[in-house]
Structure 1
Amino acid sequence: MGGGRLAGKAAVVTGAARGIGRATAELFAAEGARLVVTDVDAAALDGLRAALAARGAEVTAVAGDVAAVDDARSMIAAAVRAYGRIDVLVANAGILPLSTVDRTEPEDWDRVMAVDGRGMFLTCKYAIEEMAARPGGGAVVCVSSISGVAGQAGQAAYGPAKFVATGLTKHLAVECAPQGIRVNAVAPGTIRTDRVRDLADEPGGAEYLDAIVRLHPLGRLGEPAEVARAILFLASDEASFVTGAVLPVDGGYLAQ
């Protein structure tokens, strides 16, 4: 799709079918990236692929589960196969259950940690291995959360899983710096994704959302495109001396 801040770069975006992942894929395509988009929802993913291709983007879709070793490896391999390399990984795939500790069962914990923790580790692992095997380094952007920086009630599994994302970012940034691989994260506040919009239809959901809005000093929820723009910055050469950062995109939530 011509020039742009990611012109010619091969990028993998996980959890790309909707929300922050979709907004990121759309923005990356507009900025010239050659894309691999992934998600567990094959139908929605194919719709995204078709929409991006219709705009002239180079795009490959890989349906799969980031928590499964073979699937995670195939997502990265698809970029190498299609474009000869991987320059950028956006490790976005995750699930967002809301539950207090007394209502969180061990299997709930395992499911969240599998996707949000293990899945992020696996995709980072295989992307970094490929980046390190070729000159030029690369950029990894993990999608953490305000819940991965500060505690929140009602997120007994999700919050700790996002602390994994934050910790993984910082440790990999130090480990991979000698290879020219930058690893950063964004920490979104509450963003108007499909999951968040659906809360309004759940018992107590509207009241919960009203309370959440009041916790953000800017007085509103964020939009997926606003997070995508922060991810673009961290993925681009404009952030060439930035690594190990966790960038809040939170309307001031963490500044309090």
Structure 2
Amino acid sequence: MNQTPAQRQSGYGFTGKVVAITGGGSGIGRELAARFVAEGAKVVINGRNAEKLADAARAIDPGGESISILAGDIAQPSTGSALVEAALTRFGKLDILINNAGVFNPKPFLDLSEGDYDWYLDTILKGKFFAAQAAARAMKDTGGVIVQTGSMWAIQAVGATPSAAYSAANAGVHAMVRNLAIELAPYKIRINAVAPAVVETPVYRTFLTDEQVKEVLPTFNSFHPLGRNGQPADVAEAILFLASDRASWITGTVLPVDGGVTAGRS
């Protein structure tokens, strides 16, 4: 969804805030970075591909005054620490962490290898765990907000997309949110998660060709009671709300952003 900064402006009150975003080079993360910058925030985006991050940063803020990049694999705890340090060094503080990085590649349970298992757990669960820890250490004297991207697949199994390891990793993310909400509340740090269903992002091109994406993704429109797949802006809007002061009395929740999937089937 190509919106101008004026169209993106929605008054969430992020002027002067400093935000770190994992998985910020494309999809939901890139949409979020654009929205935060449009609303006056300073942003550091992380991802594994430095070139993709640089392209995103130039498109969002050509002058580079409000955005910085930190390339690195979030599965390594040192990357989460480096991301937080980058925000502190460049912009002087950290107010919000959006733990958005993830991976997805459906594979039957009986075919999953230990390597597959580690890939999901390291990127999705360990990555979010240690990035959140680094952020919380930076926020403990000033307060702050952490929003995790979880998954509808951690709430409801889908036979068409077998994903036991992926779902287990995201279930851990959901459990982490509830536990950290209690532990971090004394520091005035809120933490929540969103749980999206099928969202049309570049992640599907990591295991499908462009032609397969064009053929397969539309078949999931009817999977959602609202009749369409999600777009990055749909999820970004929910994350912006949870990151804002409008959600100042919400912590420890997992919000399905799923077109009605977890409500049931018509």
The CA distance in 2 between the partners of 1:198 and 1:124, in whole Å, is: 26
Distance 1:202 1:56, change over 3 A: closer
Amino acid in the other structure paired with 1:17? G
Corresponding residue number in structure 2 for 1:147: 153
The CA distance in 2 between the partners of 1:55 and 1:218, in whole Å, is: 39
Structure 2 unmatched ranges of 5 or more: none
The CA distance in 1 between the partners of 2:64 and 2:90, in whole Å, is: 16
Corresponding residue number in structure 1 for 2:127: 119
The CA distance in 2 between the partners of 1:53 and 1:202, in whole Å, is: 28
User: In structure 2, the residue corresponding to 1:98 is in which secondary structure?
Assistant: coil
Please state how far the C-alpha of 1:69 moved relative to its aligned partner. 2.2
Q: Please list, as runs of the form range in 1=range in 2, the aligned pairs for 1:47-126 lying within 5 A after superposition.
A: 47-54=55-62, 58-126=66-134
Please state how far the C-alpha of 1:196 moved relative to its aligned partner. 3.2
Please state how far the C-alpha of 1:148 moved relative to its aligned partner. 1.9
- Describe the superposition over 1:136-174 as per-residue Cα deviations: whole angstroms up to 9, x where unpaired: x10000000101222233112111111111111111111
User: In structure 2, the residue corresponding to 1:85 is in which secondary structure?
Assistant: coil
Corresponding residue number in structure 2 for 1:37: 45
Distance 1:200 1:178, change over 3 A: same
User: In structure 1, the residue corresponding to 2:61 is in which secondary structure?
Assistant: helix
8 Å CA contact retained: 2:101, 2:123: yes
8 Å CA contact retained: 2:201, 2:231: yes
The CA distance in 2 between the partners of 1:48 and 1:200, in whole Å, is: 23
Please state how far the C-alpha of 1:178 moved relative to its aligned partner. 1.1
The CA distance in 2 between the partners of 1:208 and 1:156, in whole Å, is: 21
Amino acid in the other structure paired with 2:156? A
Amino acid in the other structure paired with 1:234? L
Q: Please list, as runs of the form range in 1=range in 2, the aligned pairs for 1:1-12 lying within 5 A after superposition.
A: 5-12=13-20
What TM-score does the superposition give when structure 1 sets the normalisation length?
0.92
Q: Percent identity?
A: 36
Number of aligned positions between the proteins: 254
Amino acid in the other structure paired with 1:196? Y
8 Å CA contact retained: 1:4, 1:32: no
Which stretch of the first structure deviates more once superposed, 175-184 or 54-63? 54-63
8 Å CA contact retained: 2:53, 2:71: yes
8 Å CA contact retained: 2:152, 2:196: yes
The CA distance in 1 between the partners of 2:117 and 2:41, in whole Å, is: 35
Corresponding residue number in structure 2 for 1:167: 175
8 Å CA contact retained: 1:139, 1:235: yes
Alignment pair present for 1:138 and 2:144:
yes
Alignment pair present for 1:249 and 2:261:
no
Q: Please list, as runs of the form range in 1=range in 2, the aligned pairs for 1:207-246 lying within 5 A after superposition.
A: 209=217, 211-246=219-254
Which stretch of the first structure deviates more once superposed, 12-21 or 190-199? 190-199
- Alignment counterpart, residue 184 of structure 1, candidates 179, 185, 192: 192
User: In structure 2, the residue corresponding to 1:37 is in which secondary structure?
Assistant: strand
The CA distance in 2 between the partners of 1:202 and 1:60, in whole Å, is: 30
What TM-score does the superposition give when structure 2 sets the normalisation length?
0.89
- Describe the superposition over 1:4-23 as per-residue Cα deviations: whole angstroms up to 9, x where unpaired: 62110110000001111111
The CA distance in 2 between the partners of 1:35 and 1:209, in whole Å, is: 31
The CA distance in 2 between the partners of 1:181 and 1:35, in whole Å, is: 19
The CA distance in 1 between the partners of 2:158 and 2:183, in whole Å, is: 30
Amino acid in the other structure paired with 1:86? L
User: In structure 2, the residue corresponding to 1:54 is in which secondary structure?
Assistant: coil
Please state how far the C-alpha of 1:206 moved relative to its aligned partner. 6.8
Distance 1:74 1:198, change over 3 A: closer
Distance 1:226 1:55, change over 3 A: farther
User: In structure 2, the residue corresponding to 1:93 is in which secondary structure?
Assistant: coil
